[in-house]
Every structure is written in C-alpha cells, then in structure tokens.
Amino acid sequence: MHKKYFHKYWYVLILFWLALPGLALAQKASIKTADKRLETIFEDDKPKPRVLLLGVFHFAGEQVDANTTPANLRVDMLSAERQKQIEHLVHQLAAFKPTKIVIEDSPRRQHYYDSLYNAFKAGKLPAGKAAWPADETIQLAFRLAKLMNHETLYPADAQAFRFKLSHQDSILTFEKYKDQGDSSYTYWDKAYEAEKAYEDSLNFHLPLNEYLRYLNSPQRQAKAIGRWLVTTKRGSNTEPIGADGFVTRYFNRNVRIYSNIQRIVTSKHDRILVIYGATHMYLLKQLFEASPEFIVEDVMKYLN
C-alpha cells in the first residue's frame, strides 16, 4: 500500500475509534428517547390498575395434596409460631392497600365464598372439609380482606379448554405417543422430584416470609414452567402433541385466569392482589407486564 494511503487509512481508523464513545452515547440517548416516547403513547404516566402477584403453596398441605410431603416435613400452619408469621405477612400485604383480592377457585363458587367469608368475619367458620381452617384462602386472603374492610373476594380460576376438545384432537392423539421413548423425561422427572424434596425441607425450616421470597423469585418461577417445556417435544413434526398440550392446558388455563382478573377491574385506581399457586406466577407475570392496562408491583418489598 502506498505510504500516503496507508497514513490516510490509519487516520480514518483513529477518528472512528475516537468517535465510538460518542456513538454509543448517541445510541443510548436514542433508545432512551424511544422508550420515553412509548411510555407517552401508552400513557404509562397516568393512573392504571396496579397488580401484586403473590405465589403461595397450599397452606392446608396434605388435605389438598395428598401424600406429597413426608410426614416429618409437613407444616402445621395453625401452630402458634406459624400463626404469628401469617399475621405478620397479612400486615405486610396490607401496605399494598389492595382494593380487590383474587383467590384460586372458580368464579362459579362466588356465592360459596361470600357465605364462607361472612361466616369468617362473624367468627362462625363451619367445621369439616368444606372449609379447611389452614387453607391459604382463609388464613391469608380472608384475614387481609377483613382487615381492609372488603365486602367480598374474587375467585378467578379457570379450566383449560383441552378438556373440551374432541377425543381425536386430544386424548387419542396423546395416547398414541404416551410410550414415546426419550431419556430426558426420566432424567428431568428425577430432577423435579429432587426439587420438590428440597422445597419441602425449605418450607418446613424457613419462616413463612422467607419461603415465599424463594417461591416468588424469578429463577424459581422459571424452573416451574420448565417442567412443562420438557414435554413439548412429545409427538412428531406432523402431530406435535407435546406443544399442543402445553398450549391447550398450561398456557390456556393461565391466559383464562388472566382474562378473569381483567374483568374484575372497575377503576383505574384498583389495586389488585392475586394470591395464587406459585407455579402459575411465571406466566401470569409475563401477561400482566406485557399488558398496557396494568402496572405490576414488586412483590418482594412486601415479603420482608
């Protein structure tokens, strides 16, 4: 290369290198401006319903999930120590100032829960299986609703539409591939069994708020949906029954839950506390955060 052009070449490179920080700053400024513009378009600076998503375990334990936890690790949520922890959590959640509390049951049982809640407020909760005293709805949702002077709670659960599909579309096709071999199924089943055993131990030994911080961590919530994603490879390229099962069961159910919660909004100032099984929270959080209708609060600041 001619000496004159060689010097010119390096001169241009040096100028470009010197300009890089400025270009990076300009790019950051451009992205920041674009983000601000989006916030303006979607009116993120104006009041919107706020949502607090609290993932929980079943407080009633073996009454709900029979034979899933070793006897020596079963938590008694009615013990004096656990009752103190629940009371503390209720007051922590009260700081969110919820206007509506969503619980994990069918909207068809609204009348039942209204009756049960009224009995709870009057100190006349019925005995027996119809109302497990340790259930998280009673211990947590009812207590908080009473403290906040709420008149009702909002069941928002849903069944996936897979159970209404024809046999050809669901059961028979799934049966066709039920014995499909893949060593990863056994491998990951063992991993999730180990996770369950670990969580039983954590739940037994940790205070309630600390265990709930674990259940509501992004990493743990992502792992929960991972069990479903292992099975999406079932089937074939022409009959992807695993993917269809994920969409028509897990994904569909959670979108339906989300839509039920959408319908309880009556004001842009609503503050909605959703108390649900922790395995639902990964997808519910994605839906609420993607929606232009809601602002999602960080649950961790209420779990101290």
88: nearest Cα among 146, 139, 151, 54: 139
pLDDT of residue 174: 63
Q: Tokens 């994605």 appear where?
A: 286
- The number of domains in the chain is 2
> Helix, strand or coil for residue 293?
coil
| 64 and 19 together in one domain | no
Kindly tell me if the per-residue pLDDT of 91 is higher than 90: yes
| 184 and 289 together in one domain | yes
| Domain that includes residue 20, residue range | 1-42
Q: pLDDT band at 30, cuts 50/70/90?
A: confident
| 115 and 150 together in one domain | yes
| 118 and 165 together in one domain | yes
Do 293 and 264 contact (CB within 8 A), yes or no?
Answer: no
The chain-wide mean pLDDT, for the chain, equals: 86
> Helix, strand or coil for residue 45?
coil
| 80 and 211 together in one domain | yes
| 15 and 81 together in one domain | no
| 17 and 70 together in one domain | no
| 14 and 90 together in one domain | no
| 7 and 151 together in one domain | no
> ∠ CA 214-243-225 to the nearest 5 degrees?
0
Tens of pLDDT, residues 40-68: 887 778 899 999 999 999 998 756 665 57
Instruction: Check residue 125 and report its DSSP letter.
Output: P
Tens of pLDDT, residues 145-182: 999 999 999 999 998 877 666 554 555 666 676 677 67
| 65 and 181 together in one domain | yes
| 102 and 24 together in one domain | no
110-119, 227-236, 262-271: lowest mean pLDDT where? 227-236
- Greater model confidence, 186 or 128: 186
pLDDT of residue 160: 86
Q: pLDDT band at 295, cuts 50/70/90?
A: very high
Q: pLDDT band at 70, cuts 50/70/90?
A: confident
